[in-house]
């Protein structure tokens, strides 16, 4: 016990230094370090010249990225240290990679990070901090979230990268073969719809989202249209939902209060055919409140950014039961996001 206690200061310091790691990653991406070193092996001086940054600052940033295992070092014959991307950086930090998280990192740096500056206020007030962070009224959550077309596209890039990497895990958590017509409510960029038709080639998917989201999706993300994927404009709280065998809510309910969630779930239940189903994709908290830490932090993020929270499987089951769904099944994927299937 005494030995463990000796480690406490180190652990607290590591927690304090967590934001330094984040900002190092954010800055390296923003400055274009990983794009430059994607297929090149360069010295700090060469990187500095290419990025128009100071040599001293560049050396320190590159060194920190080596410590984070984002860059490799190589010593030239003249003892000059050269830098190149690690495999992880080439796959996840280079913008052109199919699995790139660059846009997620950019959104985290320029939007989420600013909201987190007001976390103490969010805990005191019990509400999101868009007004303090950006000077916009957050009475209408998505009016604040989508406060400009540029901000909307950034958010869509965030969701696109998430489902490019994690979508197949939730889509294949249950066998969805029986459901031929699928409606992805709040389908955003269409990344999850693409995962659906890839995993279930005989299915068709309708992406249902706000008109501006649909327009930006078609402009920026779905330029090569798949005949199995269609769009429908609307507000899932206000407008009639398309008919489907399976509805999907992927990272939607965590934006909303229990009351609003039941309102939406009830509407889906009423639209759902007998034998039809609803698939939820969410990050689930442990039933004993012990974690996972990532999801606990996501729940704080929901506090500073939305009206909602992350929930346990039992809490989603309770919401689904309240809406009329009595057959509810949960599948923990062991990855970032889990799946809940409710059958009518």
Give the pairing of strands 311-312 and 277-282: unpaired
Give the pairing of strands 284-285 and 311-312: parallel
Contact 196, 245 (CB under 8 A): no
Other CB atoms within 10 Å distance of the CB of residue 161: 24
Pick the closest to residue 207 from 238, 233, 184 (CA basis). 184
Q: In angstroms, rounded to a whole number, what is the distance separating the alpha carbons of residues 108 and 88?
A: 19
CA angle, 338 then 163 then 201, to 5° = 95
Catalogue the active-site residues: 254
Please give, one letter per residue, the 3-state secondary structure of the chain: CHHHHHCHHHHHHHHHCHHHHHHHHHHHHHHCHHHHCCCCCEEHHHHHHHHCCCHHHHHHHHHHHHHCCCEEEEECCCCCEEEEECHHHHHHCCCCCCCCCHHHHHHHHHHHHHHHCCHHHHHHHCCCCHHHHHCCCCCCHHHHHCCCHHHHHHHHHHHHHHHHHHHHHHHCCCCCCCCCEEEEECCCCCHHHHHHHHHCCCCEEEEEECHHHHHHHHHHCCCCCCCCEEEEECCCCCCCCCCCCEEEEECCHHHCCHHHHHHHHHHHHHHCCCCCEEEEEECEECCCCCCCHHHHHHHHHHHHHCCCCCEEHHHHHHHHHHHCCCEEEEECCCCCCEEEEEEC
């Amino acid at each position: 016990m005494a030995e463990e206690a000796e480690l406490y200061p180190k652990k607290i310091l590591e927690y304090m230094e967590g934001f330094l790691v984040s900002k190092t990653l954010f800055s390296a991406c923003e400055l274009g370090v990983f794009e430059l070193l994607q297929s090149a092996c360069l010295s700090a001086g060469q990187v500095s010249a290419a990025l128009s940054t100071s040599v001293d600052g560049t050396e320190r940033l590159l060194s920190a990225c080596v410590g984070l295992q984002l860059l490799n070092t190589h010593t030239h014959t003249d003892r000059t240290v050269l830098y190149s991307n690690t495999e992880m950086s080439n796959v996840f930090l280079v913008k052109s990679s199919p699995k790139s998280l660059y846009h997620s990192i950019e959104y985290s740096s320029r939007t989420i990070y600013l909201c987190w500056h007001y976390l103490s206020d969010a805990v005191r007030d019990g509400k999101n901090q868009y007004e303090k962070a950006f000077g916009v009224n957050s009475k209408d959550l998505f009016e604040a979230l989508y406060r400009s077309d540029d901000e909307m596209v950034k958010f869509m890039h965030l969701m696109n990268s998430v489902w490019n990497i994690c979508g197949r895990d939730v889509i294949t958590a249950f066998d969805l073969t029986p459901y031929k017509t699928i409606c992805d409510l709040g389908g955003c960029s269409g990344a999850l719809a693409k995962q659906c038709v890839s995993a279930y080639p005989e299915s068709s998917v309708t992406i249902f989202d706000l008109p501006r989201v649909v327009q930006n999706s078609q402009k920026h993300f779905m330029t090569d249209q798949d005949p199995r994927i269609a769009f429908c404009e609307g507000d899932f709280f206000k407008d009639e939902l398309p008919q489907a065998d399976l509805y999907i809510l992927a990272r939607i309910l965590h934006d909303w209060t229990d009351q609003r969630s039941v309102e939406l779930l009830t509407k889906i239940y009423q639209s759902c055919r007998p034998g039809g189903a609803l698939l939820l994709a969410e990050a689930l908290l442990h039933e004993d409140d012990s974690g996972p830490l990532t999801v606990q932090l996501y729940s704080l993020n929901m506090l500073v950014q939305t009206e909602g929270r992350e929930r346990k499987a039992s809490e989603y089951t309770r919401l689904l039961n309240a809406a009329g769904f009595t057959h509810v099944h949960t599948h923990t994927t062991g990855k970032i996001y889990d799946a809940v299937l409710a059958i009518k």
